[in-house]
């Protein structure tokens, strides 16, 4: 089954890491990206580069910045092909986002059409 792991972190906690810790964390992300169960992996640009498009009746609103004002922002995502949810949760728990900066990984099954 295909699962999405959406990686939410507080950018200020990432910036507080030492250069050596940051390098180690990125190496761990590369390991995750090269795991054979990983179908796709991408880091996103910072939230302040986002543009939101919203429908409001017959109007379309375009705004700069993220949709919600929050400490944790969506920093990346990973699509994982796994036998079950437990397998993906184990991978998520080993993520640098969780281990290094106390981030959150939201895991959801991908809808199959």
Q: For 36-61, how does the pLDDT look when each residue is reduced to its tens digit (9 = 90+)?
A: 999 999 999 998 899 999 999 999 99
Regions of the chain where pLDDT drops below 50: none
Q: What is the CATH number of the domain that holds 21?
A: 3.30.70.1060
Q: What is the pLDDT of residue 71?
A: 82
In 51-113, at which residue ranges do the beta strands (DSSP E only) sit?
51-56, 59-64, 73-81, 104-109
pTM of the entire structure? 0.86
- Domain range for residue 75? 2-109
Task: For residue 95, count other CB atoms closer than 10 A to its CB.
Answer: 22
Whole-angstrom distance, CA of residue 48 vs CA of residue 105: 20
Q: What is the pLDDT of residue 66?
A: 72
Domain count, the chain: 1
How far CA 13 is from CA of 9, 17, 25, 36, 53, in Å, comes to: 8, 7, 13, 29, 29
Q: What is the pLDDT of residue 70?
A: 75
Contact (Cβ atoms closer than 8 angstroms) between residue 28 and residue 74: no
Q: What is the mean pLDDT of the chain?
A: 93
């Amino acid at each position: 089954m295909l699962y999405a792991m959406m990686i939410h972190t507080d950018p200020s906690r990432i910036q507080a890491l030492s250069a050596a810790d940051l390098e180690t964390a990125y190496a761990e992300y590369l390991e995750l990206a090269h795991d054979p169960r990983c179908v796709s992996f991408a880091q996103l640009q910072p939230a302040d580069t986002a543009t939101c498009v919203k429908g409001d009746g017959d109007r379309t609103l375009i705004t700069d910045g993220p949709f919600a004002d929050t400490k944790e922002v969506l920093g990346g995502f990973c699509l994982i092909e796994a036998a079950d949810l437990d397998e993906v949760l184990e991978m998520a728990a080993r993520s640098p986002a969780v281990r290094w900066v106390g981030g959150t990984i939201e895991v959801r099954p991908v809808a199959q059409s």
